Amino acid sequence: MQVSASYAAGREFGAAKATFEATNRGAIHVSLLMLYAWGGWLVAQGLMPVGVLISGIGFTFSLMYATQGSVNTLSELRRASGAFARVRGGGTVRRVHGCHCSHFIVRPLGGCVTP
């Protein structure tokens, strides 16, 4: 029961993350296309030099990547804090049965060694 709930929550999170990423990238591409179209029209009309358009496009890319990096960093921090809270809130310590450790070899400090 707990495994299926965890699986469903993971799929829901994955779908939400995919939707967010697709929306984010779509907005970025639409804004760049608008910049190209509007800037191209201004250059064609002689209202703006080509160099200004190129520098504006470069600035937009640097701003876009900085913003995207900040958003990704904040997202990872939230995910890490949630994982940390789950680890701290667990509170119960489970004893490991000996048969589960039979595949591990403990060498210098002693303990069971299985071939």
Give residue-wise pLDDT tens across range 24-51. 889 888 988 999 999 999 999 999 999 9
Say if 39 falls within a structural domain.
yes
Q: Is 42 exposed, middle or buried (0-12, 13-18, 19+ CB in 10 A)?
A: middle
Q: Taking 70 as the threshold, does the pLDDT of residue 115 lie above it?
A: no
Say if 108 falls within a structural domain.
no
Domain extent at residue 96: 2-101
Say if 73 falls within a structural domain.
yes
Query: Total structural domains in the chain?
Result: 1
Say if 42 falls within a structural domain.
yes
Say if 110 falls within a structural domain.
no
Say if 109 falls within a structural domain.
no
Band (111; pLDDT cuts 50, 70, 90): low
Q: How far apart are CA 66 and CA 1, in angstroms?
A: 42
Q: Taking 60 as the threshold, does the pLDDT of residue 82 lie above it?
A: yes
* Residue 111 main-chain phi, psi, to 5 deg: 100, -175
Look at 11-20, 28-37, 61-70, 98-107 and tell me which has the smallest mean pLDDT: 98-107
pTM of the complete model: 0.53
Q: Which pLDDT value is given to residue 4?
A: 83
Say if 112 falls within a structural domain.
no
Q: How far apart are CA 96 and CA 50, in angstroms?
A: 69
